[in-house]
Chains A and B, each alone.
Chain A
Amino acid sequence: MKLLKASRKDPLLRDLRRVLPPDRVRVAPLERSIMGRDASIFEGGQAGPVCFPISTEEVQDCVDAARRHGRAVVPRGAGTGLAGGAVPLEEPVVVVTTKMNRLLSVDADQAVAWVQPGMINLDLSRALAPYGLHFAPDPSSQQVCSLGGNVGTNAGGPHCLALGVTSAHVLAVEVVLMSGEAVVLGDPDGWGPGLDLRGAYVGSEGMLGITTAIAVRLTPNPPAVQTLLLAFDSVDEAAQTVSAVIADGIVPAAIEMMDKNIIWAVENFVGAGFPLDAAAVVIVEVDGLPGGVAAEADRVAELALERGGRVRRAADDHERALIWKGRKSAFGAIAQIKPNYYLHDTVVPRTRLAEVMNQVYEIVEEHDLQVMNVFHAGDGNLHPLLLYDRREPGVMERVHAAGSAIIEASLAVGGVLSGEHGIGIEKRDFMPLMFSDADLDAQARLRRAFDPDEMANPGKVLPTGASCADVNTLGKVPEGVWG
């Protein structure tokens, strides 16, 4: 049994408290149990000792102690993950990086900054404001999510349409491997020789090691921005407009879509003037030099009008901020309707958007559930949110059945499992739908090249049986983890 003894005599605890002050190693049942979940559907993960290191050396010490006692290690940032990536299984040592939240250095000329993993995404962009720079990936949770978590999930965000997701903005990472060794992958100059291990690391969901510092690429703030709010009487018209904009050769900074149900919940919170009578709204943001921005905004408006849309342009920064606040609060606004959500993250070809969305509506109706759609339309990244109240008997079966059907429908048109939230526990068992045994084995072998004993965040991403070796540390998701 791994169950942590409450007593101070627990040898693992004794070792951890030798390297970290006692108030930064938490073991009270409550302090561990509230670490049992993140922002995903999963509840009831089981944390062992919860450690709050403040330096790379302390992370190494935590990993060393865990290794000596044969205990797995799970890294955690702000706990806003949507796929259960930070949910601890079987009482691992949980290493929380929130206290490692400093901006270490900024080289404005080279547009590179070194940051600690616990720094909040939006805090970084705010700190960079005096330089006229920002960090481009802007997940909806950017006001709270940590950069370490962004690296772990290779996070996206509305503004990744034109600029690429996190991997395109990470030049190097300092990683503590499960051997306790700290290594730097990649090169802050962007020209490191050899294999791109940085590329393999970004998006590895804590299964290769623990991020302790990140060299991020910084993006100049655009000289001009225009945000348009387009309203449509049907999802089809909205989806066609999205395709038409891209087909016209315009690459907007962001194109986001929200359907009727979510518009209501969001408007109720922000009061940004979202049209409550629309079947769907599309937020389009164009940026760049003032002349180009004006021309592109006019063209987007024209394309929307041709397809029956209504057009509103944000008059100033305040209005623009309000529209984005609405978009980025969508997931959190759900409890106005139901207390729980299961958020999906599939990607489908842009041209098949309307078709898949209609299928989603049908699937949900079949399973007697409610759905809201809010997503990155520009790159076909769907986010159907299934709403439910877990206190309702039998509802979980329906939620999971509908979820599977949505994933299958997305894959059937040539889509993928996850756009940006990661696989975590949530999509782990769907991986064989997308990857062959050979693919999965290759991924397992890559993982073991970094972490031979599979002690870093075990039980995530790779399904049981994916690996040829007999070192699977976890048979199945423990009871109670599924909501």
Chain B
Amino acid sequence: MTAKMSLGIDAEELASCVACGLCLPHCPTFRVTGEEWASPRGRINAMRQVQDQGAAIDQAFFSSMDSCVQCRGCEPACPSGVPFGSMMEATQAALARKRRGDWRRWGFRVLGRRRLLNLLSRVLAVAQRLRLVPSKRLGLPRIPFRQDRLRASGNDVWMFTGCVMDAWQRSTHAAVKRVVESAGVGVALSGPGAACCGALSLHAGLESHAHALAARTMEALAGSAPILVDSAGCGAVLKDYGKLVGTPEAEVFSQRVMDVHEWLATRPDLLPPAGEQGRDLTVAVHDPCHLRHVQRAHQPVAEVLARYATVVALDDDGLCCGAGGAYAAMQPELAASIRERKLEAIGRSGAEIVASANPGCTIHLANAGVTVRHPLEIVDEILDEKLDQASDDDR
């Protein structure tokens, strides 16, 4: 596996790192290995050697790039604003063209096919119950065999339901939908047309597949209603369609996309008032990387939650938990070491429950025994108890 080639990284972007090293402590893989090849600075250095100096793409280069979680924690840490994520996406696209027999090439195609995904999910659910699947090692949650259908309640806002999350965690969508509806709006569902945002394909370097999914998603979510997203990873990519697809329509589409907490936080008057129940509950907020580092919109999660519960922040500067989409399955050892640091931070927080606005993080943390829910699942439960109590009072 050695051949000389350009990685297709923008030359100005590649030149833009001064190698100061301030990104290093914000990189989860550098934090757990202490090795330069597993740091943003080292990876940029390696990209330069390949693209600028004609070094071979060898096993060490693959390891350096594939060990990156693509959390983009290095980006807000960089005083020069080096666009590391974009450079890594270009590199992964170049590497994808060289990879032979990568299961992701066909595996991720399933994500855009709702019926096939549902069918395979059922098979997987059965296999799990027969203990035929090493779920934890593969980073899988317990997959439900049956799920209740979600029904639209209006068309004030779109709710993007996505692929795996809808197949495996639809109950989360249901809770999010109830909370949004409690603010007095009707929710339209993205449905099978917008089957997948394309994030996983993009991160694996499968650009053309990601583009095709983006085109379908934009077509399915027509109109001008805001598009609310309850998965940080999906939201980050949907907000980036303007750059990914590169058309004015895509730019307009991206501007309609909001993380659901962002939308709720700007409508505090519409949210149901807080009762007393949640006050006893201490929730630690885990900031998903693609909400904090990429969308830079993590504050609203705490703002919304704080209306209903006691919120504590983790003291680890938003370091990644190691989930990273398919990362936990591809790099199980590094993913577990990275998670270990997160578990320590959660332990120090003293919270009994962790809120995470990204399905990947939720699964990854739950597999280590953490009690973790989507923030709006927690809100939904608190509101639900309150409703129960209100109806008790009526009697």
Contact = CB atoms under 8 A, between A and B. Distances in A.
A28 B15 contact: no
Given A31-B60, A333-B79, A52 B18 contact: no
Contact of A143 (B19, B25, B55): B25
Interface stretch (A156-164, A310-318, A335-343): A335-343
A401 B56 CA distance: 36
Interface in A35-65: 35, 37-39, 52
Interface in B16-71: 16-22, 24-25, 33-37, 41-42, 45-46, 49, 55-56, 58-61, 64
B18 A389 contact: no
A52 B34 contact: yes
Interface string B73-96: 000001111100000000000000
A141 B15 CA distance: 21
Interface stretch (A95-103, A210-218, A285-293, A454-462): A95-103
Interface centre among B45, B58, B80 (most CB of A within 10 A): B80
B17 A335 contact: yes
A269 interface: yes
Contacts of A283: none
Contacts of A118: 34
B24 A37 contact: no
A341 B18 contact: yes
Nearest to B52: A391
A332 B58 contact: no
A79 B19 CA distance: 9
A37 B58 contact: no
A321 interface: no
Contacts of A141: 20-22
A144 B55 contact: no
Contacts of B36: 34-35, 79, 96
B18 to A, nearest CB: 5
A331 B218 CA distance: 42
B287 to A, nearest CB: 18
Nearest to B82: A335
Contact of B21 (A30, A78, A265): A78
Given A99-B34, A266-B79, A29 B55 contact: yes
A450 B82 CA distance: 43
Contacts of A391: 15
A26 B41 CA distance: 18
Interface in A310-368: 329-336, 339-341
Nearest to A81: B21
Nearest to A80: B21
Contacts of A300: none
Given A28-B58, A30-B58, A332-B78, A340 B18 contact: yes
Contacts of A39: 18-21
Contacts of A221: none
Nearest to A270: B79
Given A33-B55, A52-B34, A331 B24 contact: no
A28 B60 contact: yes
A31 B25 CA distance: 19
B24 A144 contact: yes
A335 B42 CA distance: 17
A80 B39 CA distance: 13
Nearest to A126: B315
A126 to B, nearest CB: 8
A335 B60 CA distance: 28
B46 A332 contact: no
A336 B15 CA distance: 11
Given A30-B61, A37-B19, A141-B22, A333 B37 contact: no
Nearest to A27: B60
Given A143-B25, A339-B18, A30 B60 contact: yes
A336 B82 CA distance: 9
A98 B21 CA distance: 14
14 contacts: A26-B37, A33-B49, A34-B37, A35-B36, A52-B35, A80-B21, A96-B36, A101-B34, A145-B21, A330-B79, A332-B22, A335-B82, A336-B80, A339-B17
Given A29-B58, A96-B36, 15 more contacts: A29-B60, A34-B37, A34-B45, A34-B46, A38-B21, A39-B21, A78-B21, A99-B34, A269-B81, A331-B79, A334-B79, A334-B80, A335-B18, A335-B82, A336-B79
